[in-house]
Structure 1
């Protein structure tokens, strides 16, 4: 009984940490991108992952957790898959309307259910399926405003859905089958995720924004918000692996839509004044790794 209560408290704590940290980083990133004119989302994500790895490495050196070796091939493929997923989601947002991007995020839930049913033989009750259907309809009505289609954007969205679903299913499966904690898995895979985004991020961002991240004029205010964003990202990345490991990819996606509802129409940083002219960007509410 005590173990069950402890487990339930752990799940509640993980869910709360995920919501709080995600809402915080969206507020910070919206201020950085929309108000301060720093539009390089994919490159910023690579910095997030590098800071996360450095933080976990320091924690491991101070014996705050024990590093557990994982098969290198598994870790490399898993890290690359998650890195590619983040890049594809950002590209999908860049090439599609906000409405179509929201539909892409909604499609992740039924596709995850389908994959887990086919390949993992997982059974979902009729009540769960009905609840998910009502959730998808409700969030769709609330968030989807337009569905402008284009060929490149559609292909990118399909690839983003597939890689995101597979990555989140593997996050849960690897933790359970190899008996590793969320911290251990994140520590092992973060360098490879950071590497793939560190290489591809500037190219993706230049394609989407027509600007060069290395030629950007970094003001003290921009640097302060980048540092703050990187600090918050440690909690976001840790809580993502924690929630998926303790619950399931489907639960994490449902939680992601709760975050979207909490952030909808919320002004991120009114104290910064109006958006810089020529630097308005779409608000990235990335619900996997940031």
Structure 2
């Protein structure tokens, strides 16, 4: 009788760290590139996001045809909530930014971390250690300190921010669950989600933007190159996000997002000489403290999980 297949070993710390660094660097680069496209090419946010997903599907199809991965059958009803959550995430975060100040928007965005914890614990029975929960406090306080002079609330903005937090939290949790349940890698997941998200976004985007007018406008070769670069980079970042969530957790991906916020503020000070106030320095320090402590706790947890896995594999090899 053949032995049961051993569970796949978790990725090494070096590989996870490499993906984290690549995701942070690419994401910050894409933000700057997209800002240039918005400003100098005139592409609105949702239309550009729609092109991102159309490009992602085309590149996934080409990769499939080239034999880089094998397609898997996934029930449509399992993918539709994920695609709909992504569209809700894009629309609601844009509306939150539209109706709120940047500071209020950022503070609402950081609440995704406790949102992921609450959804995982209440709906899916996940347990989080006290230390991990405690890490969210300095991170949240740090972001609030950084934007404390830019906090303004109104009824519509508050509703959009809260709805955006809920939908984004569900989206990140569902990405991890779908990958785990159906054993999908990033390309396999994106092959399904990209066309569904593009179709749903195509129904929603015209309510906020003139999609047809934007897409029919002639572009110079330089402008076209910028849009293409943005689309290809978004494809790579989506794969990186799926890998990180699938191989770590939605909460870990949130922590990476907070580090992007700190690095973006620091880069603005170093590169563009943006003024950095005392409250911002305190905020960045608290946020980074929370991220460092969380990373330490996760590495200890990973080491404790890896040791039984290795011991179990050794026992099976001796049987």
Would you say same fold, with TM above 0.5? yes
Deviates more, 1:161-170 or 1:148-157: 148-157
Partners of 1:175 and 1:214 in 2: CA distance: 33
Partner of 2:251: 250
Match of 1:168 among 165, 169, 172: 172
More helix by share: 2
Give the CA RMSD over aligned residues.
2.4
Runs of 5+ unmatched residues, structure 1: 271-290
2:49 is aligned with 1:42: no
Alignment match, 1:236: 237
Matches within 5 A, 1:49-198: 49-198=53-202
SS of equivalent residue, structure 2 residue 68: coil
In the alignment, the residues of structure 1 paired with residue 73 and residue 52 of structure 2 have an alpha-carbon distance, to the nearest angstrom, of: 23
Partner of 2:24: 19
1:206-221 equivalence runs, <5 A: 213-214=214-215, 218-221=219-222
* Separation in structure 2 between the aligned mates of residue 248 and residue 6 of structure 1, nearest angstrom: 12
Matched positions, count:
262
- Equivalent residues of 2:107, 2:143 under 8 A apart: no
Aligned equivalents of 1:102 and 1:50: distance in 2? Answer: 28
Q: CA deviation at 1:188?
A: 1.1
CA distance in 2, matches of 1:187, 1:142: 38
Shift of 1:218: 3.5
Cα drift, residue 255 of structure 1: 0.7
Q: Partners in 2 of 1:91 and 1:156 — Cα distance?
A: 6
TM-score, normalised on structure 1? 0.83
Q: Distance in 2 between matches of 1:217 and 1:152?
A: 36
Q: Contact 1:96–1:148 (CA<8 Å) still a contact in 2?
A: yes
After superposition, give the CA deviation of every residue in 1:228-274 in whole Å (9 maximum; x if it has no partner): 1111111111111111111111111111111122222746xx9xxxx
CA–CA separation in structure 2 for the residues paired with 1:135 and 1:28: 27
Contact persistence 2:79–2:193 (CA under 8 A)? yes
Partners of 2:116 and 2:245 lie apart in 1 by 13
Distance 1:179 1:204 in 2: 36
1:37: how far off?
5.6
RCO comparison, higher one (Cα < 8 Å, 6+) = 1
Does structure 2 conserve the Cα–Cα contact (< 8 Å) formed by 1:14 and 1:243? Answer: yes
Q: CA deviation at 1:47?
A: 0.5
In the aligned structure 2, how far is the partner of 1:5 from the partner of 1:215? 47
Unaligned runs of 5+ in 2: 1-7, 272-319
Match of 1:7 in 2: 12
Runs of 4 or more consecutive aligned structure 1 residues displaced over 6 Å after TM superposition: none
Aligned equivalents of 1:214, 1:125: Cα separation in 2? 49
Match of 1:32 among 27, 31, 37: 37
Give the drift of 1:4.
5.4
Q: Say if 1:202 and 1:213, in contact at 8 Å, map to a contact too.
A: no
Counterpart CA distance in 2 for 1:61 and 1:165 is: 33
CA deviation map 1:16-60 (0-9, x unaligned): 2211220110121122224x1625011101101110111011001
